[in-house]
């Protein structure tokens, strides 16, 4: 069966490649609707479903399509992808010395022998940042790692020097709850 990842994220591609030897990448093109009024867990599930559904609808035959979306939240406020260094700086100042949550949605749509199944779920992990000085923030921003990262950081990247503690699954924080995806892939006999 063909496996398709509906994501442009190199991090998600790496995580999927650790479980599936051959898969295709098709990048969803629709703009994410962040205005939906729902809980963070439901919103990340909904956005994951939108991504997977768009790619599923563009393809045919027996296939398994994976969609995922990641959100960083601090005290209920969503920290998306920064649009500028100053926006990233503000986010990093908010995260400094605090615990925050990372919600990652997962949607897998499978078509096999004309039957379609959808799996929609999410996972939540918590991250505690160290106290960041202005010098720390300036140093980090000089690497441009913050670009295209929810919350302006990548746990697997340079910013890991700021992380004091993690509670939960590391792959959830990276952007794909692999423990949940693995169980779905086993259920569908991909693994």
> Which are the catalytic amino acids?
69
DSSP state at residue 76: T
- Rounded to whole angstroms, what are the CA distances from 100 to 48, 141, 167? 21, 20, 10
- The count of C-alpha atoms lying within 13 angstroms of the C-alpha of 38, restricted to the half-sphere facing its C-beta, is 10
φ, ψ of residue 116 to 5 degrees: the values are -115, 135
φ, ψ of residue 115 to 5 degrees: the values are -95, 140
DSSP state at residue 68: E
């Amino acid at each position: 069966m063909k496996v398709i990842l509906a994501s442009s994220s190199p991090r998600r591609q790496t995580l999927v490649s650790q479980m599936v030897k051959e898969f295709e990448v098709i990048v969803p093109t629709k703009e994410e609707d962040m205005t939906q009024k729902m809980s963070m867990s439901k919103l990340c599930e909904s956005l994951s479903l939108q991504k997977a559904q768009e790619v599923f609808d563009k393809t045919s035959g027996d296939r398994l399509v994976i969609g995922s979306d990641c959100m960083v939240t601090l005290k209920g406020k969503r920290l998306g992808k920064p649009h500028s260094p100053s926006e990233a700086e503000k986010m990093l100042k908010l995260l400094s010395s605090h615990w925050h949550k990372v919600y990652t949605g997962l949607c897998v749509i499978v078509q096999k022998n004309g039957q379609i199944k959808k799996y929609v779920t999410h996972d939540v992990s918590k991250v505690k940042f160290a106290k960041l000085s202005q010098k720390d923030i300036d140093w980090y921003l000089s690497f441009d790692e913050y670009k295209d990262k929810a919350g302006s950081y990548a746990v697997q990247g340079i910013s890991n020097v700021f992380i004091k503690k993690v509670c939960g699954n590391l792959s959830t924080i990276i952007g794909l709850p692999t423990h949940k995806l693995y169980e779905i892939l086993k259920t569908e006999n991909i693994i």
